[in-house]
Each structure stands twice: as C-alpha cells, then as structure tokens.
Amino acid sequence: MTSRTLRALTLWACLGVTGCAPSLYDWGEYEDSLYIRQKDASESGQAEAFKILDAMVQEADAKNYRVPPGVYADYGYLLFRQGKPDQAITYFRKEAVLYKESKYLMDSIISRIEQKKPR
C-alpha cells in the first residue's frame, strides 16, 4: 500500500467516525419556540412558545438529561415575564451551574431581579 493510499484511508476513517457522532444535546422544539415568539409577539404566541419550552425543561429534568446551552436561561426569562421572579431565578441559577461561561451574565441578571423585588 502506498503512503498516499494509506493517508486517504486514514482521512476517510476519521471523517466516517466524526460524521456519525451523536448530538451532544437534544434541542427538541427549541427552534420552534424561538420562531413562534418572533412571529407572534401576542400573549397567545408567547404562551405557545412557553408551553414548548416548559415541556422541554420538564422532560429533561424528569429524565435527568442535560438541556442545551441557553434553554434554562430562556425559560427563566419567560418565567420572569410572567411575573414569577423567584422561579426565574431558580432557572437562571441552573443555567449558571450547568454552563460556567454563563455564570457572570446569570449572576448579573439575578442581582438586578433581586434589587427590584419588593422587600
């Protein structure tokens, strides 16, 4: 076997292995949730998007799956918009623990929410 053939076989083997790797996250219908919120900013559109995210988060929590980056933060944001700051903070904290790179932003959001909460 020539070195050229060996290199070609090695390249194809590497591509074959990496091309079949499973996805790290199950994004579910997250894209649909974002699309619905952009397309329909009304209460009904927001409620529909929330239902999608809620199902995703509840399923992930029940099955102990890892949600994709940003999902807990987005879910927390929707909870906050519904007037549920304490629940929102819970999900912002989950995002910060799960994805360390988001900790600074999540801590900043939590701090702002806590400053505005009535005492």
Does the global pTM surpass 0.85? no
Q: What is the pLDDT of residues 38-71, one digit of tens each?
A: 898 888 888 999 999 999 999 988 988 889 999 9
Residue 42 lies in a domain: yes
Domain that holds residue 33: 27-116
> Could you tell me if 41 and 27 are in contact, meaning their C-beta atoms sit under 8 angstroms apart?
no
User: Exposed, middle or buried by CB within 10 Å (0-12, 13-18, 19+), for 87?
Assistant: middle
> pLDDT confidence of 24, banded at 50, 70, 90?
confident
Does residue 93 sit within a domain? yes
36: nearest Cα among 20, 18, 52: 52
Residue 17 lies in a domain: no
Residue 15 included in any domain: no
Q: Is residue 106 part of a domain?
A: yes
Q: Quick one: which of 22, 20, 47 has its CA closest to 36? A: 47
CA distance 118 to 63: 36
| Count of structural domains within the chain | 1
In a domain, 6, yes or no: no
Is 112 part of a structural domain of the chain? yes
**Residue 118 in this model has a pLDDT that exceeds 80:** no
CATH code for position 84? 1.25.40
- Residue 3 is encoded by which pair of tokens? 């070195």
